[in-house]
Amino acid sequence: MTPEQEKEKEEKGEQEEQVLVLDAMKRYRNGEIWDFEDDMAVSDGHGGGENGVLLGLDGGTTSTVCICLPMVPSFSHSQLQSLPILARAVAGCSNHNSVGEIAARETLEQVMADALSKCGSKRSSVRAVCLAVSGVNHPTDQQRILNWLRDIFPSHVKLYVRNDAVAALASGTMGRLHGCVLIAGTGTIAYGFTEDGKEARAAGAGPVLGDWGSGYGIAAQALTAVVKAHDGRGPSTRLTNSILQALGLSSAEELIGWTYADPSWARIAALVPLVVSCAEAGDEVANKILLESVQELASSVKAVVERLGLSGQDGKDAFPLVMVGGVLEANRRWDIGKEVVNCISKYFPRVLPIRPKVEPAVGAAWLAWNFFMKECYS
């Protein structure tokens, strides 16, 4: 084979390898989900007006929500609440610690594509994306996701990646990062910001590392209490009949198989209403579990507030406490959220509890608006 033929063969091999890599990237990034853009007219503002659109994502262990809002630079911060929601899309878990990085990215890309498709927009019309996802706990997590987002969106799109707790805080403060947020759903975390940008967090390390105020933590303790009662290592409890009946099981031994057949966090956490019902019916074991969860949640908030000095040197300054998540919802007589506030108020009498009227994904979209305006118009 001549040198020219060898060179030609080598170049052909490199080209074939490059095609394989590109094909793999497309499959990895689920590129076909953007095919809907081919049927749309080319317009940078299409779907959201001439100023384009914003995307806000709240990605958690249970579900992922994407909100699309119009970008209106002429609005003031106080007018953000009047921005109409152009589209809302929902998908499954996007926490890479739970489902793996590839599955998490596919979920995030799919939910963004769904939202844009619903409002008749394409990626060229996006002005900013704020992606707030659980599992983003370190700058390396942020950078990895930012690099992936840059492969998806045009270069003019502003991209911001934060922990999902930040979006939850923003949902109660209209996109301002100040105060503390307590999330207690499947998992739990307390996260806070000072007005000059300092931040701190407590808990949020997952069930193995002791997020015992979470839905998972409450339910896991309830399951443990049932097993202990069956073994004779703990007191009898209404939780036994309540949980076994709800799960269609006949004995505590079957509970072991049920638990380990699919030990996903959300599946376990779904048992929390049963614990609350038993506590309301006077069960001492269930009541103790909820009281301990209140102490755990309050201690997380206290740690963040003290580290950031949100309550001032004398502990009497006012600060917002945004409360988000199914565990904190005030729809039962045994109101976990109310008890948490009562506990925190003993330390910080001027705490301002806020239960947001919008979901965290809207908070993420408001953050995208604030970040964009600050970066482009300051």
Q: Where are the beta strands (DSSP E) in 251-324?
A: 319-324
350-359 pLDDT tens trace: 999 999 999 9
CA 278/CA 274 separation, integer angstroms: 6
Residue with token string 């994502």: 57
Of the listed ranges 39-43, 101-105, 163-167, the least confidently predicted one is 39-43
- Percent of the chain scoring above 70 in pLDDT: 88
CA 339/CA 218 separation, integer angstroms: 15
310-351 pLDDT tens trace: 999 887 899 999 999 999 986 678 999 999 999 999 999 999
In this prediction, residues 359-375 reach a mean pLDDT of 92
pTM for the whole structure: 0.81
CA 237/CA 221 separation, integer angstroms: 12
In this prediction, residues 161-170 reach a mean pLDDT of 92
Query: How many other β-carbons are positioned within 10 Å of the β-carbon of residue 186?
Result: 31
Q: What pLDDT was estimated at residue 2? A: 66
Rounded to 5°, the CA angle 62-64-65 comes to 135
Q: Are 86 and 143 in contact (CB under 8 A)?
A: no
Q: Is the pLDDT of residue 42 over 60?
A: no
Q: What pLDDT was estimated at residue 22? A: 43
Closest CA to 314 of 324, 323, 306: 306
CA 183/CA 173 separation, integer angstroms: 15
Q: Is the pLDDT of residue 25 over 50?
A: no
Query: How many other β-carbons are positioned within 10 Å of the β-carbon of residue 69?
Result: 24
Map out the domains of the chain with their CATH numbers: 44-176+359-377 (3.30.420.40)
CA 110/CA 104 separation, integer angstroms: 10
